[in-house]
Structure 1
Amino acid sequence: MLAIVLGSGLAITTTLYGSAGTYGDDQAAWWVSALIVVANAAPIAFRRRWPMSVAVVSALAFAATQVLHVPEVFLVNFTLFIPLYTVGAWCSDRVRAEVVRWVVIGGMFAWLFLAIAFGWAVPNALPNDDGGLIPPYIALSLLNIVINVIYFGAAWYAGNRAWASAVAKHQLDERTAELAAERERNAAQAVTIERVRIARELHDVVAHHVSLMGVQAGAARRVVDRDPEQATASLGVVEESARTAVEELRRMLGTLRSDHDDDGQRGDEHGDGPSTEGLGRIGELADSARTAGHPTEYVVVGDARDVPPTVSAVAYRIVQEAVTNVLKHAGPSARADVRVRYLDDGVEVEVTDDGHGERPPRTTAGSGLGHVGMRERVGAVGGRIEIGPRARGGYLVRAWLPTT
């Protein structure tokens, strides 16, 4: 479209300049003018596909317009400016783009200087004595030089600016795409993390009570015929554990649904989130292990004191998971030891068992969420944890949690 518009304009202006007698008797024939019009306009249609070739062809057509005295001195300037601009704006090979533009511009200035030099051979171009500040021919030569500097400088600058703007837009689009992809990855990661967190919470809340219920239900089944009272007591423990599990699930789901409160901590719908499950309830975990038939000792070392709610909740969850593992893996009659130590710079919880039961040696087969959850919780508060078998038999879970 641009080539057609320029071609039509060149045909009109060439006809008008010809009718005005721009070159007088030296004017080119009409068919020469027609060919030059096509030579100037047609390359514009291919300027983005072959920008450097079009720039060279347009420069030659521009020169032919002047040499052959084709009566056009206006729009032909645009047919050279646009290809020079296109080289700067569209060529990805920046070195070749620089070379081609320098060659074209250098050739044009060489032609200009030759024309000025030959002009000095004309007698009336010599300096006169009419008292003017600058002789007419010198003034005209300087004016032509300034006009060409501005013309070619504008083409060069506009092309480079267009290229820089296109590169900046491309980089911005790439960064936008990268940010969008990063947001999608972060969203997917957040969903995965939330799923893992919910799975960990469910494991912590349910595993202990379900394990206790299973142990007591099995005990009730074995003694229901010969010791109904013991079977009734075991079923009572199952009932109590079921109530406790349901209550803790309700509290946990309320916590997961709630938003952060003003202190940046989560609380359930009644305001008593996980922070209430703290060090003060660890004795209940020891009692549940005794009820399940495991002789369990509970010892508190040091003077009890208030600790941050987060640390208290982490300590409770670690002991809960460790006691659950004793019920599940240590054997039906294994002994357990639960200790809480209040240290100067932290609190330490420890759960051990002797691993001696009526069943085969303990197995650690499971989902793996228990150990992972304990390590994640301890890491979240900047503590340390030790998990593994003891040299003299049994298993050890010991965690140190900072309180300062």
Structure 2
Amino acid sequence: MKPRRQRHLHALDLGAALALTAMYIGFARLTADDGQPVYTGPFWLGCLIAAMVGLPVAVRRRWPLAVLVAVLAALATASLLDIPREPYAAAGLAAYLVALAEPARRSVPALAVTLPVACGAVYIGEAVVTPAEDSRGAVGVAGLVLLVIGGAWGTGFTVRGRRAGTAREQRRRSERALDEERLRIARELHDIVSHNLSLIAVKAGVAGHVAEADPREARAALKVIEETSRSALAEMRRTLGVLRTEGAPLGPVPDLDRLDLLAEEAHRAGVDVELTVHAVEGLAEGTQLTIYRIVQEAITNVVRHAAPTRCRVTVEADAPEIRIDITDEGPPPARRPAAHKLPGGHGLSGMRERAMMYGGSFEAGPRPEGGFAVSVRLPAEGNQ
């Protein structure tokens, strides 16, 4: 839960705790129709019981079970002293959090203990100790308390179940998106590895053919084989454990030279892209592919969530790191939401996966001045 939302909820709990305490202090000072006080004990004891009923509610999110026990004990005491004039609202608030925050193995026994204690205290207080009601009336009040506490617990238990189901579904979607992204990366890596192996095979054939006639050319071919082998092995280590699906469409590997095509496609979709690329020579194909896919995913998100708008793409590939920054100005006012949220889909998780594969960093989020920003940093060492 976000810290800001937590603070709001704790503030609401504090307000409820103070209101319940003040209400029970008022109950302790009530008088009957004949002018005699309903509660005949010392006023300080009434205030103490009021504090024990209300104040624990302020910390019910931190210690739900302990708060339920404390509140239940105070309410039972108040019932026996004929103080309460409400159906155990504090116990209902505590029972809701117990069902919501505690696992069933603890929340169910807590409910099983709470209901008979609460209903028994109400019945005894109403019908035996201070018989303001007949047996039927006392049973009715106890039934109302049962309804309040049981209903609050049931609501919390239902909300907990729905949240758990939503969390499981989100995990399944995240795992499925991660698997799909890894498969896409594996298909792309196949192109790089197959290209490198083809080059190795050609150079090995050249070296074998001219080894005796032209040793210098043979050594040059072996040098190319060594460099190409190291590059291919580095790419394979980065994707160790990722398997390639059969029948995947193969094609040329996108590189930085094709970023202009992305900008043109985005322009046709309503996004004016300002593209700036500063790259040193000799970037590995895998690195160029990663940069291309990250920019592609980011621009796709801009088209999907903010078009028509303006977008700035900056790629700086030099020592000591590769910097990729994509920022947009957000959607026009006519279709701008109240709060700019993270784009949906799997684009962000795909970009994060690619950045993590190279040991880089990934950040994305709304900009204070409006729009959205994606920032990726990749280490340049080993990519040259």
- TM-score tier by shorter-chain length is 0.3 to 0.5
TM-score, scaled relative to structure 2: 0.42
TM-score, scaled relative to structure 1: 0.40
